[in-house]
Amino acid sequence: DADVTQTPRNRITKTGKRIMLECSQTKGHDRMYWYRQDPGLGLRLIYYSFDVKDINKGEISDGYSVSRQAQAKFSLSLESAIPNQTALYFCATSDVGPGLAGISTDTQYFGPGTRLTVL
Partner 1 sequence: QKEVEQDPGPLSVPEGAIVSLNCTYSNSAFQYFMWYRQYSRKGPELLMYTYSSGNKEDGRFTAQVDKSSKYISLFIRDSQPSDSATYLCASPNSWGKLQFGAGTQVVVTP
Among 24, 76, 113, 116, interactor with partner 1 by CB under 8 A: 113
Instruction: Pick the closer one to partner 1 by CB: 85 or 114.
Output: 114
Backbone torsions φ then ψ of 83, nearest 5 degrees: -55, -35
If binding is defined by CB under 8 A, does position 25 make contact with partner 1? no
Is the peptide bond between 83 and the residue preceding it cis, with omega within 30 degrees of 0?
A: no
CA 79/CA 64 separation, integer angstroms: 7
* Binders in 52-111 for partner 1, by CB under 8 A: 58-59, 90, 92, 100-111
Say how far residue 23 (Cα) sits from the centre of its chain. Answer: 7
Q: Which range in 11-19, 35-43, 60-68, 77-85 contacts partner 1 by CB under 8 A?
A: 35-43
**Piece in contact with partner 1 (CB under 8 A), picked from 12-20, 33-41, 60-68, 69-77:** 33-41
* Rounded Cα gap, residues 55 and 49, in angstroms: 5
